[in-house]
Amino acid sequence: MTSTLGFAILAVLARGERTGYDIAQAMRRPMAYFWTARHSQIHTELQKLLAEGLVTYETQAGPGPQDKKIYRLTGEGTAALREWVTEPPRERPERDELVLKTYTAWLAEPEALRRLFADQLARHETRLAEYEREEELFGGPPPVGDPRFGNYATLRCGLGYERHRADWCRWMLAQLSASL
């Protein structure tokens, strides 16, 4: 059974052949907005995908003493990805450390809590500004059949998330200011 990380790697390879390093780079931008993985996780998962027959590779001379492996989807990998993409997502537990801290906020010094939320607000506003700049580069959504449509759609989700978190941080700051 392929893991979600495995499907993330298949999604990257569906856009073209890549080395393990190139897959890791693609997982940094734009995928890091919604899914992350370390290089060691990617390497381990690639071995599983190879064993399942979902990817294959060819070797080419590398810059160092070892050949580099260029991975690509197999027909089975494409079929598995097509089937997976419309399945409901697996349930996952919510794990939000800031919300957990907020749940226990009554124990904190109000000024320290205010600084925490001011810092979080600044982070979300910075990320929101970055996402807004990226959205401008698109000039509108690409056609649904274009691979860039997925980039745009996930960017839109990120925009909504960052706006929501910034609004919530502002609300928390207003509540904290009212109690000082």
Domain residue limits at 53: 4-85
Q: What's the distance, CA 67 to chain centroid? A: 29
Q: Per-residue pLDDT tens, the chain, 180 aa: give them.
A: 889 999 999 999 999 999 999 999 888 876 777 788 888 999 999 999 999 999 999 999 988 888 999 999 999 999 999 999 999 998 887 889 999 999 999 999 999 999 999 999 999 999 999 999 999 999 999 999 998 999 899 999 999 999 999 999 999 999 999 876
If asked whether residues 119 and 175 sit together in one domain, one would say yes
> Measured on CA atoms in the order 115, 106, 108, 123, is the torsion positive or negative?
negative
92 within some domain: no
91 within some domain: no
pTM flag (> 0.75)? yes
If asked whether residues 26 and 81 sit together in one domain, one would say yes
Domain count, the chain: 2
Domain of 67, CATH number, reads 1.10.10.10
* Contact present, 2 and 60 (Cβ < 8 Å): no
Report the alpha-carbon distance of residue 55 to residue 65 in Å, rounded: 24
pLDDT for res 178: 87
pLDDT for res 128: 96
If asked whether residues 128 and 175 sit together in one domain, one would say yes
* Contact present, 174 and 129 (Cβ < 8 Å): no
Report the alpha-carbon distance of residue 176 to residue 172 in Å, rounded: 6
